[in-house]
Amino acid sequence: MNLRNAHAWSVPTEKALKLIASYAPLLELGAGTGYWASQLMEFATDILVFDEKHFQSSFNDQTQISEGQEISARYFCQVQQGGPEIANKYADRTLLLMWPDYMGFGTYGLQCLQHYQGNTLILIGEWKNSTFGSYAQGISEHGQSFSLDFQEKVEAEFELIEILDLPTWPLFLDRLQIFRRRNTQKKRRFRKGCIFLKGLGPTETVVILHK
């Protein structure tokens, strides 16, 4: 747990970083230590990085984290001060969120989504069809990364276009998912072929079309 808190709650891979970088320019909110962003910068990725410096219980009152507690004691890159409202300014950037809702509760992720007027989301963490929550006591069935309200809003307003499973810490099932807003009028072009990904659930198979 200490290692995860000191670096990142999800484990980056070169493949994941290159995939994220292909959707630049990026805006990351709730960046924590900035570890993923620092790795993306190694690929010369255009990314702006923000987070609150201290924990605000108004975003999540179902944790044991104290109001005003410092979010991170160490940063791997420059993390600017800012919360969900920052998304209002950057509709031209892909919004990157990783574990915005501690233990799957709270409103931080949802507020980011409400402020964001752009078309593309990159979400990293657990999702309701990929979690140990159905088997492990004390773990939310919709996962520990995003609130259920956030997930339902994303699925209602965006379509899943790409997915990548990630290495995981024990008892976590992280993945990288890319969504595009459903009502966008921008024409999309797809490469020939598709990828069939299994393992999203007992009987689920998702077809991912590449842009």
Instruction: Give the H/E segment covering residue 158.
Output: strand 158-165
* Distance of alpha carbon 181 from alpha carbon 64, whole angstroms: 34
**3-state DSSP assignment of residue 195:** strand
* Cβ atoms of residues 82 and 71 within 8 Å: no
Give the three-class secondary structure for 86. Answer: helix
Q: What's the confidence (pLDDT) of residue 86?
A: 97
DSSP 120: E
What one-letter code names the amino acid at 6? A
Determine if residue 68 is left, alpha or beta; phi over 0 gives left, psi from -120 to 50 gives alpha, anything else beta: left
Return the pLDDT at 131. Answer: 64
Length of the chain as a residue count:
211
Tell whether pTM > 0.85.
no
pLDDT reported for residue 211: 46
pLDDT tens digit at each of 211 positions of the chain: 465 555 566 789 999 999 999 999 999 999 989 999 999 999 999 999 999 876 555 555 566 665 656 667 688 999 999 999 999 999 999 999 998 887 767 889 999 999 999 999 999 999 987 665 555 556 667 677 899 999 999 999 999 999 999 987 676 788 999 999 998 655 444 444 444 444 444 444 444 554 4
pLDDT at site 188: 46
Cα 204 to Cα 12, 124, 193, distances in angstroms: 25, 20, 19
Q: Which residue, 133, 194, 127, 192, is CA-closest to 165?
A: 127
The pLDDT value recorded for residue 11 is 86
Q: By C-alpha distance, which of 124, 123, 116, 122 is closest to 92?
A: 116
Please give the distance of CA 176 from its chain centroid, rounded to a whole number.
Answer: 7
